Structure 1
Amino acid sequence: MIKAGIIGGSGYTGGELIRILLNHPATEIDFVYSTTRAGQQVATAHPDLIGLLDLKFSNTVNLKVDVVFLCLGHGNSTAFLKEHQFSSGTKIIDLSNDFRLKADAHFDGKHFVYGLPELNKSQIEEAKYIANPGCFATAIQLALLPLAEAGLLENEVHINAITGSTGAGVSPSETSHFSWRNNNISWYKPFTHQHLGEINESLHSLQDNSGKLFFMPTRGNFTRGIFATCYSKFNGSLEDAKKLYANFYKNAAFTQLAEAPLHLKQVVNTNQCHLHLHKHEDMLLITSAIDNLLKGASGQAVHNMNLIFGLEEDLGLNLKAGVF
């Protein structure tokens, strides 16, 4: 059994990791670290686990676990790793943005591989340290990577993506509490969202001269999921585009091309990304839908763990959507 530790287990991504690993046939949760809830039952933060997990949050860390997941706020993973020296055999999967960019990938003798399996599967399989992609970044990259690999992202790309309130984290804020969020919608960080850096690096790794991205992130009045629409000029036919995408994702465990237009519920509570293509005149519209906490965070982290340890990619991740 793979012994796993979770750092920052009281938040949304930590909670999702606990739920997945609890039912993963090849893993055992060794500890769940939390500075705010040390000594309390894990179920006090995640009441859906009552009766399923008899484990308390810890304020100590086992530095010799097989794998540790860092579910900390952005900027905190670096500080945590400076204070806690894990064994040379411990694999580290970081869910923050601390190591995603190439300029940040080398830290304290460690090299973090960007953990998007559809792009870097072979590197992930050989890696010890993983920088898990951002949620918006995952949805948008999966929508655009096939075009970049074919050298067809020559023009600007316009992107609108709406995310649920869990994307803002568990700590309440003015724009995440119920009275503000319910029956409401708003944009934020227009054209400057922090995930653009990692998206551009991935696209440029496939096509140097890929077109500029114009990204409009939007807050939705629902709890989880990302629904992204991307469109750009495309000279080929719709069938050309479908063949391109089908070929790129032919061996992908969790990215599927759908014939019918998408809706968000078909991917929520799963580790799936569903894509749909639509052609209008000379424009190709790509729709991408994921669960921001699973394919956009914890599910993808476990997918990376499976690859690192030579397990089946979908082990522990065959999750069903709640469509109705």
Structure 2
Amino acid sequence: MQIKRAIERVPGGMMVVPLLCGATLATFAPHAAPFFGSFTNALYTGALPILAVFYVCMGARISLGSLPQLLKKGGALMTTKVALGFLASLVLGHLIGIDPVRTGWFAGLSTLAVVAAINDTNGGLYMALMEQYGQPADSAAYTVMTLESGPFLTMVSLGVAGLAAFPWQTMVGAILPLAVGMVLGNLDPEMRRFLSQGVSVLIPFFAFAIGCTLDLHRVATAGLLGLTLGVVLVFVSAICLIAADRLIGGDGTAGIAAATTAGNAAAVPMLVAVANPRYAAAAASATVLVACCVIVSSLLVPPLTALWKTRVVRRQEMDAALLSGEVQRVAETPDSNR
């Protein structure tokens, strides 16, 4: 059986297929893993430990010479997403204020839901897509983007800065596994080769664990509004992030891969409401809408990234063919006609 080949026919298949398997299990058999316990339940709930190991293996592949590009790309993508969050906060805050829409087709929509969904990127999905379609430094750029995690930037975007701390220990902890891998890989070429082999192997495992945190019933609960919000945010974010990526010399692939919503973003509305009770009315519906954006973006971004990368490769091949034809034409032109 050609299982691996069949999975790889799906755009981002090594990420998407295990993620869907995990989401299906979480939706229709949520108590299966706890029932069996032991290693089964550990895999079901183990996205963060697996990602930590993934960071070490990935860090080993990165040479010190690529650090400027890592900081450049990660900073550009993060700044773009934060700017989108600020813009959404300003526009929607002026139009609908703090409370959610009460009636009509947009009932439940709130500034909190949109900003929380924009601000946090799905790091696991981004890194998996960059592993398949980008470069190691592109994947590692997410280390810089971890600054998006948690409610802090959402609170800043909503104009309530100072209500939550952003512990330095958390930021150092997010960088340490990658740094350890980089040190090992740069000190010992054999260690680099050894650890690098684990990168592609770990992707389906943390994808499955991430999928186990997604309940497909939430899409039905959010209804058409949730689906529409997810699609709109993916396309708006993708357009801006592609532009940012190309502005710093990329081909746009990293930009579109970052146009997702992280699974932990679904917890942000409640955290914001705890910090500022004025958002309590919007928190419940915002949680459902953000969860819907997580699922929609997780399913939509991988094929879009694959399509974009195919387009980029074809354009590069066409440019190379045109250049080759031009060089050949000049070479064949008689000296008297030149």
Shorter-normalised TM-score: what interval?
Answer: under 0.3
Q: TM-score, normalised by structure 2?
A: 0.24
Higher helix share: 2
Q: Which has the higher contact order (CA 8 A, sep 6+)?
A: 2
Question: Which protein shows a greater Rg?
Answer: 2
